[in-house]
Amino acid sequence: MDIKVTTLAGKAAGSVKVSDEVFGLEPRADLIQRVVLWQLAKKQQGTHQTKGRADISRTGAKMYRQKGTGRARHSSARAPQFRGGGKAHGPVVRSHEFDLPKKVRALGLRHALSAKAKSSDLIVVDDLKAADAKTKTLVGQLSGLGLDSALVIGGAEIDDNFRKAASNIPQIDVLPVQGINVYDILRRNKLVLSKAAVEALEERFK
């Protein structure tokens, strides 16, 4: 499978041959969804907490005598039914993370890449380098490529000028190839890969 390569200036720069095992699969929504749910669960802080009756600072004395008042019998003012009492079955601090096999995670990433390639939302550029860290210049180049919402994946190292110039552009995310993930691929309209990133992904999934 061949994909056209372009420059940041929008000029043709040949083509690159990519593996059908990485970019040519028939996308499976169920696999992609599993990986996205796994990622979102890992991101969830889990710091939500309410005070239970054991956490409420109130007297432990019985509210009133057991019999003879005509009222329901109660033992503690910390019970959930009273104003200021503890919350019954409230959220507690916990981890929402769950396990997902490495093979499923890898397959989900390959299917996400294939989905972008199939929908013609994958762009390969020869190099991600900027002469200077000017956001205005990079905005013009990205507009020329039709990119207003994109995930840009470079090689193992991101050019410092390019990274700084892109940091102020909304809906443009820049990551090294080690940080590529299914959630970030799907949340942007386009996926931009450098030739170095393509080679690294091909090597990773050999």
Which residue ranges form the domains of the chain, and what is each CATH number?
2-45+97-205 (3.40.1370.10), 47-93 (no CATH)
- CA pair distance 37, 97, nearest whole angstrom: 10
pLDDT tens, position by position, 21-72 = 999 999 999 999 999 999 999 999 999 999 999 999 998 899 999 999 999 9
- CA pair distance 44, 96, nearest whole angstrom: 7
pLDDT tens, position by position, 140-196 = 999 999 999 999 999 999 999 999 999 989 999 999 999 999 999 999 999 999 999
Task: Please give the pLDDT value at position 9.
Answer: 86
Task: Please give the pLDDT value at position 29.
Answer: 95
Task: Identify any residues that bridge with 125 across adjacent strands, giving them in sequence order.
Answer: 6, 194
The answer on pLDDT for 13 being more than 90 is no
Task: Please give the pLDDT value at position 1.
Answer: 83
Q: Tell me if residue 90 falls in helix, strand or coil.
A: coil
Long-range contacts of 102-105 (CB under 8 A, 24+ apart): 104/31, 104/34, 104/35, 105/35, 105/38
Q: Is 10 left (phi over 0), alpha (psi -120 to 50) or beta?
A: left
pLDDT tens, position by position, 88-140 = 999 999 999 999 999 999 999 999 999 999 999 999 999 898 888 999 999 99
Task: Please give the pLDDT value at position 206.
Answer: 81
Q: Tell me if residue 45 falls in helix, strand or coil.
A: coil
Task: Please give the pLDDT value at position 176.
Answer: 95
